[in-house]
Amino acid sequence: MSFRRAAFAILLSLALGACGPASLARHESKAPPPPKGIRTADGASALPGSLALSADGRIWELTDGRWTRLTSGPNDSEPVWDRSGRQVLFVRRFTDYSDLFAVNPRTKKLTRWTQYRGHGKVGSRQFADTSSWALEPSPLTASSALLLTDRNGFYMKLAVVTRGSKGLRALTDQSVVPEDPQASPNGRRMAYLAHPDGPAELVVRNIVGAPHPKQLTRFPNGVYDPAWSADGRWIFFVASTKGSSNLYAIGADGKKLTMLSSGDAVRQPTAAGRNRIVYLRKNGDGWDVWTARLVTRKGRLSVEDEQQVTDGGKLDAVSNLSWTDAKVGSKQD
């Protein structure tokens, strides 16, 4: 071996030693920072799968206690995992319009599902009149979703949008103003909020075939935040009762109404598998993520073993929690 080659080998070994296993371990063990002001609590280890949520106008993923920022914002919201658990749908707001996007957590690649930007100069009457809103997505298949939109008309309607298609299949007209649509796990039914006689109430109807809408709740102050259980047998929702926003469950057939929480303000329930639920709980002026086990006794649901997932009270009431059991293994920043 020549002197030059030997010297190069020595320098290379020293460089590799400096970046060897110990150094790599230190790099890999450093967890990416969470959203500003949010701390990961002990309950994060009890939460399986991956949780998507919105904070600071961006979409984030929490998996195994590690945070990943999926989008750059600054006006991204309403995240929801698609049916495959491999992409997160979300809404990005612009001046006078919004569009539906999907982000791949591994590659951070964005796919634009809708093109609702109008014509003319931004801020002009023409631009506003020709632009449309995409709101409150709920996945049906890997390439389709429920969406609230005023596309092809000047009223908000519930429609089915398909990735890559400019067309819509409207499910409601101007006589119905639905809110917060949620497709059932099998994609055949949906739950949503409607205002039949005043405050919003929970309604279910078919997506396929005749609608057959059925009102499930009658609360004096209305209800909000509907979400299906993983097996489609129950629908979770929040109602303001006893001076607080409490968590309820009701059978998809409208029977067995059960209060799951009392006294502590909660929002945004979402199923985390068949035996677990995730939700927001009030903390000071903000909100934090909590999780609990779901238990069925005598045909009714209850929650046990509540654990705190985040701390700091920096989330808001519309952080839009969404969970998947597919650990997609996001590449960390």
pLDDT of residue 327: 57
- 229 and 159, same domain (yes or no): yes
Average pLDDT (218-225) is: 94
With a pLDDT cut of 70, the percent of the chain lying above it is: 88
Residues β-bridged to residue 163 = none
Kindly report the CATH number assigned to the domain that includes residue 166: 2.120.10.30
- 115 and 90, same domain (yes or no): yes
> Is residue 332 situated within a structural domain?
no
Range of the domain at 1: 1-30
> Is residue 276 situated within a structural domain?
yes
> Strands 168-170 and 157-162: what pairing?
antiparallel
- 165 and 181, same domain (yes or no): yes
The residue ranking higher by pLDDT, 243 or 220, is 220
pLDDT digit string, tens, across residues 21-40: 444 344 344 556 888 889 99
Average pLDDT (36-53) is: 92
Which secondary structure element, helix H or strand E, spans residue 241, and what is its range?
Answer: strand 234-241
pLDDT digit string, tens, across residues 229-267: 999 999 999 999 878 899 999 999 999 999 998 777 999
pLDDT digit string, tens, across residues 156-193: 899 999 998 888 899 988 777 789 999 999 999 999 99
- 226 and 247, same domain (yes or no): yes
> Average model confidence (pLDDT) for the chain?
87
Residue 331 has pLDDT above 70, yes or no: no
pLDDT of residue 108: 95
pLDDT of residue 166: 80
- 157 and 68, same domain (yes or no): yes
Specify whether the CB–CB gap between 292 and 277 falls below 8 A: yes
- 45 and 26, same domain (yes or no): no
pLDDT of residue 1: 46
Alpha helices in the chain (DSSP H): 3-18, 21-29, 125-130
Which residues, in sequence order, are CB contacts of 2 under 8 Å at separation 6+?
none
Q: CA 193, CA 173: separation in Å to the nearest integer?
A: 15
pLDDT tier for residue 109 given thresholds of 50, 70 and 90 = very high
- 113 and 216, same domain (yes or no): yes
Specify whether the CB–CB gap between 332 and 66 falls below 8 A: yes
How wide is the angle at C-alpha 67 spanned by C-alphas 62 and 68, nearest 5°?
Answer: 100
- 153 and 277, same domain (yes or no): yes
Which residues, in sequence order, are CB contacts of 292 under 8 Å at separation 6+?
276, 277, 279, 303, 304, 305, 306, 307
Looking at the 3D structure of the chain, how many domains does it have? 2
Q: Structure tokens of 1? A: 């071996």
Which residues, in sequence order, are CB contacts of 241 under 8 Å at separation 6+?
219, 221, 259
> Is residue 331 situated within a structural domain?
no
pLDDT of residue 225: 97
pLDDT tier for residue 92 given thresholds of 50, 70 and 90 = very high
pLDDT of residue 244: 86
CA distances from 300 to 22, 168, 229, 241, 250 (A): 52, 39, 13, 20, 9
- 273 and 299, same domain (yes or no): yes
> Is residue 238 situated within a structural domain?
yes
Average pLDDT (59-64) is: 95
**Of 192, 258, 271, which Cα lies nearest the Cα of 224?**
192
- 254 and 289, same domain (yes or no): yes
- 66 and 11, same domain (yes or no): no
Which residues, in sequence order, are CB contacts of 123 under 8 Å at separation 6+?
95, 96
